[in-house]
Amino acid sequence: MIAVLFKRRLSLLLAAAALVAWGGFGLWQGLHTGFSGGLYDPGYRVPGVRPASPAATAGFQPGDRIVSVEGKPVEQLGMESRWPRSLAPQPGQSHRFVVERGGQRVNIDFVYPAPSRAAVDNRIRSALIGLGFLLFGLWGFFTAGTPAALALLHTGLCAGVSMATGLGPNLGSWNGLQGHLSTAAAALLFLLLLRFFLLFPEPKPLAASRLLWGSLYGLWAAFLAFLAAELITHPAFYYTTGSVAYPLMLLYCLLILAAIVHTLARSPRPVLRRSGLLWLLGAILIALAGALSNRFPGWTSALPVLLIPFALALAVRNQARAA
pLDDT digits (tens, 9 = 90+) for 251-284: 999 999 999 888 888 888 777 777 777 778 888 8
Residues 6+ apart with CB under 8 A from 22: 164, 165, 168, 169
66 closest CA partner among 78, 57, 56? 78
In degrees rounded to 5, what are phi and psi of residue 239? -95, 10
Looking at residue 274, the DSSP 8-state letter turns out to be H
pLDDT one-digit tens code per residue, 5-50? 778 889 999 999 999 999 999 999 999 999 988 899 988 999 989 8
Given this model, what pLDDT does residue 323 score? 65
DSSP assignments along 75-106, one per residue:
HHH-SGGG--GGGPPPTT-EEEEEEEETTEEE
In the chain, alpha helices (H): 2-31, 54-58, 74-77, 117-144, 147-167, 175-199, 210-233, 241-266, 269-275, 277-293, 302-305, 307-322
Given this model, what pLDDT does residue 284 score? 83
CB atoms within 10 A of CB 109: 10
> Tens-of-pLDDT digits for all 323 residues of the chain?
667 777 888 999 999 999 999 999 999 999 999 998 889 998 899 998 989 899 999 999 999 999 999 999 999 898 888 899 889 899 999 999 999 999 999 999 999 999 989 889 999 999 999 999 999 999 999 998 888 899 999 999 999 999 999 999 999 888 888 989 999 999 999 999 999 999 888 888 888 899 999 999 999 999 999 999 888 887 777 777 778 889 999 999 999 999 988 888 888 877 777 777 777 888 888 887 777 777 777 888 888 889 999 999 988 888 888 76
What is the gyration radius of the CA atoms in the chain, in angstroms? 23
Measure the N-to-C terminal CA separation of the chain; round to a whole number of Å: 23
What does the angle CA 147 – CA 278 – CA 308 come to, to the nearest 5 degrees? 70
Residues 6+ apart with CB under 8 A from 73: 67
* Residue 176 to residue 81: CA distance in whole angstroms: 7
Residue 178 near residue 168, CB atoms below 8 Å: yes
Please tell me the CATH code under which domain 54-111 is placed: 2.30.42.10
Q: Tell me the β-bridge partners of 104.
A: 101
What length is written for the chain? 323
Residue 87 near residue 95, CB atoms below 8 Å: yes
